[in-house]
């Protein structure tokens, strides 16, 4: 969930800084300034602690297997101290990929509909259910996924897909329901509000004059969107997508409940798999020994590094697109 | 392309985008409807107050899990609110320099860290040294999740306080710290309470960081150094169990959780609305 407040444009405030001019001998003011600075630094300390703790706990396993082997090995057997993260990385990427493929067109379409096509009143009405969708706890999504989505996928959706698209390896195999596809679909539902709300924000920064110019030249509304609005907002929409992807990669409970929890690599989307957050959730509390705990923390470290990288890139893109025309749009 | 074709393309794309709205709302409606319809008949006074019953026994509830969620979230507030709000005030009042930018950026990035990762960190910081799972560990994990959001929203709210208020106070000779506390924070208080309630609502719905910090507990617990039940972990355990009556309890517990989260967010929104008038 990403409340709009987190990514809202910060108002530039060229306010004078009276604090800087406070008299040097004023002890309570000094103390107050120090207290605020310490609390502010608390945020940075928190971040540093996260990195330090993950590295501290995860290092033994990474050292034991070697980083490259840890990432590429496919066998995960804690009883033999064999830790290969490949099935989990694969499952995380596949489910997030499915989620993006499903969620992106719907979210962008929805954002375009609400900003460009629908009457403004509808936008304020629809913003409530979108916020609601973002506020539902992930374990409730998991519950719904397990008892509603999975049976629907098992029959009729997966048999239908294998009848029509069964020539692709993606859609072969037994329609179990639990698996990559179920996890991908539930992730799509969960990241939809993120991508939609940020895209709406980005689209609202597109100057009206661009639209008007296109319309005045005789473009239909869709042509104005395609030729004037979307190119301007492209970088921001890409950023919104990356934030959604970051959320999908780290989502734990809903995926754990519907992915099937099988540490294997399969081409078929119908097959049960596993993901990084899911294996941490399932095994951490009952880890068989320190090396197992360490290996799980190393998985967490990988997850952390990837999501932080994505977040930084995404936020830079969203900021750039707010600042002006799509300079960065390739 | 002829005008007809272009008009048709316009119509088709408008239709597709409108369809996206319908597609997006289907899961929401289905989820809310099923949680209510599947969960409602399990609700009784007992469900809110009783301890969980063993498999096969009728009755039983999520009283201790509900209390545990509130307890863990309370611990999280004790740790997270001062840091989050303080950091936000810092950013708004003295955060125009490089340090402010660094903190702001860190907060933004932290808000994207997966909650399960935060759980590992709380495990390393609290569970390992104490050698036991505890409500405190769960609280620390949730606090870490609350801080970035709180800092960002507090900053925005404090920046909304008119500069003239601050100047008036300082001109009267009120010291900086009193101005911050009694004028600025006081004015922004309603908004900050809203931000806190929304952060609490979000924290109450977290499962992943509690799985190996506060763990679970079949009984009532009021000690911060003991494993503690939570609604979310209880829902997870019931849902993945093989028993039909536990599945029913998962739906009922999910309804209770949605009511709790909904009530907290609603209270937050009402508060900010009444303050604005």
The answer to whether residue A322 scores a pLDDT higher than 70 is no
Q: Are B176 and A5 an interchain contact pair (Cβ–Cβ within 8 Å)? A: no
CATH architecture for residues A31-323: Orthogonal Bundle (1.10)
A228-232 long-range contacts, CB within 8 A, separation 24+:
A229/A112, A229/A116, A229/A203, A230/A112, A231/A326, A231/A329, A232/A206, A232/A207, A232/A321, A232/A325, A232/A326
pLDDT, chain B, mean: 93
Tell me the residue length of chain B. Answer: 277
List CB contacts (< 8 A) between A137 and chain B: 204-207, 232, 257-258, 261
The answer to whether residue A249 scores a pLDDT higher than 90 is yes
pLDDT at A9: 47
CA distances from A106 to A73, A124, A139, A268 (A): 36, 19, 23, 24
Nearest to A281 among B25, B116, B251 (CB): B116
The residues that bridge with A82 in the sheet, in sequence order, are A77
The answer to whether residue B192 scores a pLDDT higher than 60 is yes
Q: Are B147 and B83 in contact (CB under 8 A)?
A: yes
B199-247: pLDDT as tens digits: 999 999 999 999 999 999 999 999 999 999 999 999 999 999 999 999 9
Q: Are B176 and A32 an interchain contact pair (Cβ–Cβ within 8 Å)? A: yes
The answer to whether residue A13 scores a pLDDT higher than 60 is no
Please spell the DSSP secondary structure of chain B, one letter per residue: --HHHHHHHHHHHHHHHHHHHHHHHHHHHHHHHHHHHHHGGG--HHHHHSPPPPTT-S----HHHHHHHHHHHHHHHHHHHHHHHHHHHHHHHHTTSHHHHHHHHHHHHHTTS-HHHHHHHHIIIIIHHHTS--HHHHHHHHHHHHHHHHHHHHHHHHHHS-HHHHHHHHHTT--HHHIIIIIIIHHHHHHHHHHHHHHHHHHHT--GGGTTTT---SS----TTS----HHHHHHHHHTSS-HHHHHHHHHHHHHHHHHHHHHHHHHHHHHHHHH-
pLDDT at A188: 97
Q: pLDDT-based confidence at A5, cuts 50/70/90? A: very low
Closest CA to A307 of A157, A93, A94, A35: A93
Q: In b/e form, how buried is each residue of A65-104, taking b as 16+ CB within 10 angstroms?
A: beeeebbebeebebeeeebbbbbbbbbbebbbbbbbebbb
pLDDT at B274: 64
Dist CA B14 CA A17 (whole Å): 50
Domain boundaries, chain A: 31-323
The vertex-A56 CA angle with A51 and A59, nearest 5°, equals 105
Q: Which two tokens stand for residue B211?
A: 């799985």
Helix (H) or strand (E) holding A134: helix A120-135
pLDDT at B60: 87
Dist CA B250 CA B194 (whole Å): 29
Task: Tell me if chain A has a CB within 8 Å of the CB of B133.
Answer: yes
The residues that bridge with A77 in the sheet, in sequence order, are A82
List CB contacts (< 8 A) between B31 and chain A: 136, 140-141, 144, 148
pLDDT at B67: 96
Count how many pairs of residues, chain A against chain B, have C-beta atoms within 8 Å. 299
pLDDT at A326: 47
pLDDT at B275: 57
Distance from CA of A292 to the nearest CA of B (A): 13
**Residue of chain B with shortest Cα separation from A28:** B177
Tokens 């990514």 -> residue = A7
A261-276: pLDDT as tens digits: 999 999 999 999 999 9
Q: Are A277 and B261 an interchain contact pair (Cβ–Cβ within 8 Å)? A: no
Dist CA A218 CA B255 (whole Å): 52
Question: For the ranges A18-27, A33-42, A101-110, A283-292, which has the lowest average pLDDT?
Answer: A18-27
A181-207: pLDDT as tens digits: 999 999 999 999 999 999 999 999 999
Q: What number is the average pLDDT over the span B145-168?
A: 93
**Residue of chain A with shortest Cα separation from B236:** A139
pLDDT, chain A, mean: 89
List CB contacts (< 8 A) between B229 and chain A: none
Helix (H) or strand (E) holding A164: helix A158-165
Helix (H) or strand (E) holding A91: helix A86-112
Tokens 């390896």 -> residue = A169
The answer to whether residue A256 scores a pLDDT higher than 70 is yes
Tokens 């209880």 -> residue = B234
Residues 6 or more apart whose CB falls under 8 angstroms from that of B7 comprise: A220
B7-51: pLDDT as tens digits: 999 999 999 999 999 999 999 999 999 999 999 999 999 999 999
| Per-residue three-class SS string for B138-151 | HHHHHHHHHHHHHH
SS3 state of residue A77? strand
Dist CA A277 CA B235 (whole Å): 18
Dist CA A205 CA A193 (whole Å): 19
Q: Which value does ipTM take for this structure?
A: 0.94
C-alpha atoms less than 13 angstroms from C-alpha of A79 in its C-beta half-sphere: 0
pLDDT at A329: 42
The vertex-B185 CA angle with B181 and B186, nearest 5°, equals 95
A17-76: pLDDT as tens digits: 545 444 555 888 899 999 999 999 999 999 999 999 999 999 999 999 899 999 999 999
List CB contacts (< 8 A) between B87 and chain A: 39-40, 42-43
- For the packed helices A290-323 and A180-204, what is the interaxial angle rounded to 10 degrees? 30
Task: Tell me if chain A has a CB within 8 Å of the CB of B230.
Answer: no
List CB contacts (< 8 A) between B123 and chain A: 57, 284
Name the burial class of residue A289, with classes exposed (0-12), middle (13-18) and buried (19+) by CB atoms within 10 angstroms of its CB: exposed
Q: Which two tokens stand for residue B92?
A: 């708004």
B55-85: pLDDT as tens digits: 878 888 999 999 999 999 999 999 999 999 9
Dist CA A75 CA A84 (whole Å): 5
Residues 6 or more apart whose CB falls under 8 angstroms from that of A29 comprise: A19, A22, A23, B175, B176, B177
Name the burial class of residue A114, with classes exposed (0-12), middle (13-18) and buried (19+) by CB atoms within 10 angstroms of its CB: buried
Nearest to A29 among B25, B90, B176 (CB): B176
């Amino acid at each position: 969930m990403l409340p709009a407040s987190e990514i809202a444009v910060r108002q530039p405030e060229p306010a004078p800084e009276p604090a800087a001019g406070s008299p040097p001998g004023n002890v309570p003011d000094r103390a107050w300034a120090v207290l605020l600075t310490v609390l502010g630094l608390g945020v940075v300390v928190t971040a540093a602690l996260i990195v330090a703790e993950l590295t501290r706990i995860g290092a033994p396993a990474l050292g034991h297997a070697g980083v490259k082997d840890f990432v590429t090995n496919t066998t995960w057997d804690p009883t033999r101290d064999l830790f290969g993260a490949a099935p989990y990385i694969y499952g995380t990427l596949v489910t997030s990929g499915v989620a993006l493929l499903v969620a992106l067109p719907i979210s962008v379409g929805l954002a375009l509909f609400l900003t460009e096509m629908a009457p403004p009143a509808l936008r304020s009405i629809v913003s409530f259910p979108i916020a609601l969708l973002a506020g539902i706890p992930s374990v409730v999504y998991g519950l719904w996924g397990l008892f509603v989505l999975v049976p629907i996928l098992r029959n009729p959706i997966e048999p239908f897909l294998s009848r029509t698209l069964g020539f692709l390896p993606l859609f072969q195999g037994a329609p179990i329901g639990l698996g990559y596809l179920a996890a991908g679909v539930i992730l799509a539902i969960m990241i939809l509000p993120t991508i939609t709300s940020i895209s709406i924000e980005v689209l609202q920064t597109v100057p009206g004059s661009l639209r008007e110019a296109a319309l005045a030249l005789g473009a239909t509304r869709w042509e104005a969107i395609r030729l004037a609005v979307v190119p301007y907002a492209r970088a921001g929409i890409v950023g919104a997508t990356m934030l959604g992807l970051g959320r999908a990669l780290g989502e734990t409970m809903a995926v754990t409940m519907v992915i099937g929890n099988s540490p294997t690599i399969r081409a078929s989307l119908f097959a049960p798999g596993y993901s990084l957050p899911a294996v941490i959730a399932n095994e951490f509390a009952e880890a068989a020994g320190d090396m197992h705990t360490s290996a799980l923390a190393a998985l967490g470290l990988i997850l952390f590094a990837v999501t932080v990288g994505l977040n930084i890139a995404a936020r830079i893109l969203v900021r750039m697109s707010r600042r002006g025309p799509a300079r960065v749009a390739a | 392309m002829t005008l007809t074709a272009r008009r048709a393309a316009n119509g088709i794309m408008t239709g597709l985008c409108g369809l996206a709205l319908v597609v997006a709302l289907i899961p929401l409606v289905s989820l809310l409807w099923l949680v209510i319809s599947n969960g409602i008949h399990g609700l009784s006074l007992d469900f809110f107050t009783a301890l969980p019953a063993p498999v096969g026994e009728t009755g039983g509830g999520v009283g201790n899990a509900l209390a545990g969620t509130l307890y863990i979230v309370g611990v999280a507030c004790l740790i997270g609110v001062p840091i989050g709000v303080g950091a936000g005030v810092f950013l708004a009042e003295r955060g125009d320099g490089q340090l402010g930018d660094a903190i702001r950026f860190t907060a933004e990035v932290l808000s994207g860290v997966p909650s399960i990762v935060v759980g590992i960190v709380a495990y390393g910081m609290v569970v390992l040294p104490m050698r036991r799972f505890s409500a405190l560990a769960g609280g620390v994990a949730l606090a870490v999740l609350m801080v970035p959001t709180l800092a960002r929203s507090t900053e925005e709210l404090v920046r909304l306080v008119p500069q003239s208020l601050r100047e008036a106070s300082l001109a009267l000779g009120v010291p900086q710290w009193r101005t911050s506390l009694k004028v600025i924070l006081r004015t922004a208080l309603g908004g900050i309470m809203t931000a806190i309630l929304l952060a609490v609502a979000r924290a109450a719905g977290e499962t992943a960081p509690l799985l190996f910090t506060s763990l679970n507990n079949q009984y009532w617990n009021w000690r911060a150094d003991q494993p503690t039940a939570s609604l979310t972990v209880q829902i997870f355990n019931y849902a993945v169990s093989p028993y039909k009556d536990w599945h029913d309890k998962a739906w009922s517990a999910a309804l209770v959780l949605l009511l709790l989260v909904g009530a907290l967010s609603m209270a937050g929104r009402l508060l900010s609305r009444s303050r604005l008038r």
